[in-house]
Amino acid sequence: MAVLTFEAVVKRFGAFTAVDSLSFEVPEGGVFGFLGANGAGKTTSLRMALDILRPTAGRIEVLGRAPGREQAPMIGFLPEERGLYRQMSVAGVISYFGRLKGLSGAAASSAATELVERLDLGEWVRKPVASLSKGMSQKVQLATALVNAPRLLLLDEPFSGLDPVNQAMLEDLVRDAAAGGATVVFSTHVMAHAERLCDRLLLLSAGKSVFQGTVGEARNLLPARLRVTARGAPDRLAGVVRAAAVRTQADGWTDYEVALAPGADPGDVLEACTANGFPLRAFQVERASLHEVFLHLVGGQSGVAA
């Protein structure tokens, strides 16, 4: 079952088209990455999923229904631009958002207490949000998204502004949420996070989908590179487009950088070497990174981080 469905969704702001005929489905469970450069339409798409913005055209379904606040009890949302009620206590603000999402007072308080402990904010529980550091405020904000144990967790650029330690902590929380049965959808322009976390991903460019699939499928879009150490040039093997000598060693072995034809499997090349008695000392496969795939798909548009 899909927890989030976009069908030919368009969103225009005046003459500017932020999202253009976007269609995709997010299956239940796992982590779904919403990737794209700044201005690609990620945030606009998430806002439409939450009914904060209405699409100009197309159809959206969230948890089996049209977007609306009825689904709020089942959704957790961490916006890109974050802020909290500065005068409220840490426990108070988490509990408040829990109650807005339909929890009873007791359940919201209990969930807030549990989250505060889990996020190492125990000693700050009664302190006003204004007294927290930026990192701790981010944790509290994340807690407001998790307080209702959501079925669908939408995180808009969740790693921005976090130091490496807190980024790692957040990655763990995303994995925990997914392991607990939630479907996590997060947007990012940092490919490394997507590569580490996502089961499936959607690449957006200028409001349009340029790729949907698993991380492996995305990386297979670009031919793999081989590093081979052999006695002779492997340029005549099937699937090999080009082999460039990098360094020749004293004992006669030479390092080659081998470019494969699109779709060629490195395993087939290795098998051909064995079958043809082509001597090898080293055979190393280097697959394209998500960053390279993205740059390849988006072309000259940048704005992504590796």
Partner 1 sequence: MRRAWLIALREYRQVVATRGFWMLLLVVPIVIAGSVAATQVLESPTRSSAFVVVDPANIVAPVIDRRLATTGRAGDFVRAPPPVDAPLNSGPEAFGAVIQRHFGLPVGPGAKSAPLALALWVPNDLANGKRARIWASPSADPGLVRIVRAAAGRAERLAALRTAGLSPSDAERIESLQPQVTTGSNAVAPPRESLVLRSVLPLALVYLLLVAAMTTGSMMLQGLIEERSNKLLEAVLACVRPEELMLGKLLGLGAVGLTILAVWVACAAAAVQALHGPAAEMAAAALQPLREPWMAPALLAYFVSGYLIVSTVFLAIGSMSDTMQDAQAYLVPALMAIMAPVVVMMDAVIVDPEAAIVRAMTWIPPYAPFAMLARLGGGVSPVEVIGSGILMIGFIWLELFLLGRVFRASLLGVGQPSPLQAVRRLIGGRRAA
**Count of residues of this chain found to bind partner 1 when the rule CB under 8 A is applied:** 30
- Which of 3, 31, 41, 47 binds partner 1 (CB under 8 A)? It is 47
Q: How far is CA 132 from CA 143, 190, 291, in A?
A: 14, 26, 35
Per-residue binding string, partner 1, 131-160, x by CB under 8 A, is ----------x--xx---------------
- The answer to the question of residue 16 lying near partner 1 (CB under 8 A) is yes
Does residue 292 sit in helix, strand or coil? helix
Per CB under 8 A, does 50 bind partner 1? yes
Cα three-residue angle 84-88-93, rounded to 5 degrees:
60
What is the closest distance, in whole angstroms, from the C-beta atom of residue 50 to partner 1 in the complex?
A: 5
43 touches partner 1 (CB under 8 A): yes
Site for partner 1 in 85-124 (CB under 8 A): 85-88, 96-97, 99-101
Applying CB under 8 A, which part among 71-79, 219-227, 267-275, 287-295 lies near partner 1?
71-79
Beta carbon nearer to partner 1, 187 or 254: 187
Query: Looking at beta carbons only, is 14 or 164 nearer to partner 1?
Result: 14
Q: CB–CB of 13/25 below 8 Å?
A: no
Q: How far is Cα 92 from Cα 17, in angstroms, rounded to an integer?
A: 40
Burial readout 131-169 (b: 16 or more C-beta within 10 A, e: otherwise)? ebeeebbbbbbbbbbbbbbbbbbbbbbbbeebeeebbeb
Nearest to 155 by CA among 281, 293, 31, 24: 31
- Alpha-carbon distance of 143 to 93, in angstroms, equals 9
- Site membership for partner 1, residue 38 (CB under 8 A): no
Closest to 290 in 3D by CA, of 197, 228, 208: 197
Smaller CB distance to partner 1: residue 50 or 197? Answer: 50
- What are the backbone angles phi and psi of residue 63, rounded to the nearest 5°? 50, 40
Binder of partner 1 out of 4, 19, 84, 149 (CB under 8 A):
84
Interface map 191-230 toward partner 1 (x if CB under 8 A): ----------------------------------------
Member of 27, 38, 52, 134 binding partner 1 (CB under 8 A): 52
- Distance of closest approach, residue 80 Cβ to partner 1, in angstroms: 8
Q: Between residues 184 and 240, which has the closer beta carbon with respect to partner 1?
A: 184
DSSP code string of 116-184: HHHTT-GGGTTSBGGGS-HHHHHHHHHHHHHTT--SEEEEESTTTT--HHHHHHHHHHHHHHHHTT-EE
Q: Which of 32, 34, 77, 124 touches partner 1 by CB under 8 A?
A: 77
For partner 1, which is the closer residue by CB, 10 or 297?
10
The Cα 163–Cα 138 span in angstroms is 11
Which residues here bind partner 1, judged by CB under 8 A?
A: 13-14, 16, 43, 47, 50, 52-53, 69, 72, 75, 77-79, 81-88, 96-97, 99-101, 141, 144-145
